[in-house]
Amino acid sequence: MTTISSAVAELGWTSFFGEQVAVEELGDCTPVRVLSVHRGRVTVAGDAGEESISSRMPTGGVADDRPTVGDWLLIDRTTRSVVRLLTRTSLFKRPAPGDDRRTQLIAANVDTLFIVTSGNQDFNVARLERYLVLARETGVRPVVVVTKMDLAAPSERFVDAARALQAGLHVEQVDGRDPKSVAGLAAYCRFGETVALVGSSGVGKSTLVNTLRGSDQIATQAVRDDDGKGRHTTTVREMHRLAGGADGGGWLIDTPGMRELQMSEVATGVTEVFDDVMAVALECRFTNCSHGEEPGCAIRPAIADGLLDPARVDRWRKLDLEDGVNSVMVATRRARSGKAPRRGG
C-alpha cells in the first residue's frame, strides 16, 4: 500500500494492516481505528480526526466480525460506512453473559498486556499464571507490573517468584502514583504501540492509567457522541493516548470488559505455560489419570523425586479442571502416538 499519513501511523498502523489493503482501494476508502464502541456506533480516529460512525458491517459476517476497541476498519471516504474489518494481530474476548453462543469482544490489536499486581496483599502466583496463560493464548507480550513497591519493603521475593514463572518474563516494580517510577513502562508503549491492563480490583490499575496518561489528562475523558437518533449522549472513551516524551506516545486500552476478564478457552495457553508438567503427564499410563492413586502415574514419582513442584502441579490441575485441558492432552497424545515411542508405555 502507498504512503500512509503520520496520523494513521501514530494510531498504530503497521505493515501488517497495510498488506491487507490494495492501493486501488485507497481511492474510495480510508483506514480508521476504533476508540470506543456503543449502541450501534463506534468512535473512530483516522486521517480526518475523530468521528462517530455507524458500526453496521456490510454483510452478516461471522461471529467475531464486529468492531471492538482497537480494531482497524476500512471505511468509505464519502458515506463513512464500514467497508470491512481488517484482520487483527490479537483479540481479547469472553463468553457473553447469559448467552452461551455469543462471545463478547473486548479489545483487539493489543501489543502488550500489563499484568498488574500489588507488591503486598494481592500478590498471588496462581493468578499471575492465569494471566500469563491468557497472554499466551491471545499472542500478546506479557509484562508483570508490581505496584505499591513503596509500601512493601522486602518485596524482592515477589519479583523473584514472578520472574520464575516464565523464562525471559519482564517484571517491573513501580509506585503507580509516581510519574518518575512509572516512566520505565514507557518502553513498552512506544509510538503507535497498544497496551492493555488486567489485574484484580484495588491493585492500582486506575492509578497507573492516570500516571501513564500524564496528570493533565486525568480530568474528564467523556466524548460527546451522536446516538444515531439525533440525540447526544456522553460516553467514556476506552482507548487513551499516552503522554509523549522520547519513548512514549503509545495507546492504552482501558475498558470495563478488560478489567473483568476471566479465563476462558485457554487450553492451548495452559499447555504452553505448564509445558514442564504437561510433558510428565503425557507419560501417565491412563489418558484420564487423575494423578492420584492410579498405577503408572508419572506425576507422583516426579514430585517425589523433586522434579516437579507439588504446588505448581496443584495449580495446573485446578486450571486443567476448569478449562478442559484434558481434551488437549488427548489430542496431544494422539498426535504423538506413532511418531515417537513413549518411555515405559
- Is 1 annotated for ligand binding? no
Q: Is 206 helix (H, G, I), strand (E, B) or coil?
A: helix
Residue in this structure with the C-alpha cell 489430542, named with its chain if needed: 331
* 201, interface contact from Zn ion, ligand GTP, none, CB < 5-8 Å by kind: ligand GTP
Percent helix, strand, coil in the chain, to 5, is: 30, 25, 45
Stretch that binds ligand GTP, among 71-79, 148-156, 295-303, 318-326 (CB under 6 A): 148-156
Q: Is 225 in the site for ligand GTP (CB under 6 A)?
A: no
CA distances from 88 to 70, 71, 158, 215 (A): 9, 7, 34, 32
Cα gap 242→99, rounded to integer Å? 35
Q: Is 150 in the site for ligand GTP (CB under 6 A)?
A: yes
Among 46, 67, 204, 250, binds ligand GTP (CB under 6 A): 204
Return the exposure string of 307-340: e unless at least 16 CB atoms fall within 10 Å of the residue's CB, then b: ebeeebbebbbebbeebebeebbeebeeeeeeee
- Is 297 annotated for ligand binding? yes
Shortest Å, Cβ 237 to ligand GTP = 17
Q: Is 236 in the site for ligand GTP (CB under 6 A)?
A: no
Residues in contact with 328: Cβ distance below 8 Å, sequence separation at least 6, in sequence order = 267, 268, 270, 271
Residue among 54 and 181 whose Cβ is closer to ligand GTP: 181
Residue among 145 and 308 whose Cβ is closer to ligand GTP: 145
* 248, interface contact from Zn ion, ligand GTP, none, CB < 5-8 Å by kind: none
Residues in contact with 109: Cβ distance below 8 Å, sequence separation at least 6, in sequence order = 12, 70, 71, 72, 88, 89, 90, 194
Residue among 242 and 284 whose Cβ is closer to Zn ion: 284
Residue among 179 and 192 whose Cβ is closer to ligand GTP: 179
Residue in this structure with the C-alpha cell 439525533, named with its chain if needed: 230
Shortest Å, Cβ 15 to ligand GTP = 35
Among 41, 84, 93, 148, binds ligand GTP (CB under 6 A): 148
First to last CA, the chain: 55
Cα gap 284→298, rounded to integer Å? 5
- Is 81 annotated for ligand binding? no
Contact residues toward ligand GTP (CB under 6 A) are 147-148, 150-151, 175-177, 199, 201-207, 259
Contact residues toward Zn ion (CB under 5 A) are 284, 289, 291, 297, 299
Annotated binding site for Zn(2+): 284, 289, 291, 297
